[in-house]
Amino acid sequence: MPSLLKRLIPLLLPVCLVSPSVNAADDWQALPANPIILTVAGELGCCPQGQALFDLQRLDALPQVEVNTQTPWTEQVDSYQGVRLSVLLDELKAQGQRIDATALNDYSMLLNLQVASKYPVILATRKNGKIMSVRDKGPIWVIYPLNDFPELRKEEHHQAMVWQLKSLNIAR
């Protein structure tokens, strides 16, 4: 048996050296265990290659908040849960001045970084406690707290509420 082990070690060692730990909280570049639902790219201090990958589990591992609001596309106040955009950017050590948000259908909108820092803008993955499907504007919907901050009830912020979000690109 030791001779078999000696033959396997050289084969296994490269796998151990190049396989990143997907459980490490700061290893955002590692492939997540489940399907990727968000790619954040650009000026990221956390990631030498400028890209962080998220599945639902990774997003859920970040501090979650709740926003209760009505949107221009909903008929009542709903509860949305997700990570604050500012918390995600802090976690990734984002160093840019611009955030370009892109949806699955390639709709793209420039998000106001100052607004995202000042208000609890979230990347909602749940609506009324249920995971959002693509059919229901998921898997991620940028939600602004319109009911709590009437000053956000402007077309520019409505346009920034990108649903079916697939990526964020951080630039200077």
Banded model confidence at residue 12, pLDDT cuts 50, 70, 90 = very low
Amino acid 26: pLDDT: 54
Locate the domains of the chain by residue range: 28-171
- Tell me the two tokens of residue 8: 């396997």
Are 28 and 19 in contact by the 8 Å Cβ rule? The answer is no
Amino acid 28: pLDDT: 73
Mean of pLDDT values over 109-138: 95
- Tell me the two tokens of residue 118: 């000042």
44-53: list long-range contacts, CB under 8 Å, 24+ apart.
44/92, 44/93, 44/94, 44/95, 44/170, 45/92, 45/93, 45/94, 45/95, 46/91, 46/92, 46/93, 47/92, 52/28, 52/92, 53/28, 53/29
List of residues 6+ apart from 12 with CB closer than 8 A: none
Which has more pLDDT, 158 or 5?
158
28-171 has CATH 3.90.420.10 classification? yes
pLDDT digits (tens, 9 = 90+) for 116-128: 999 999 999 999 9
Mean of pLDDT values over 133-157: 96
Are 99 and 121 in contact by the 8 Å Cβ rule? The answer is no
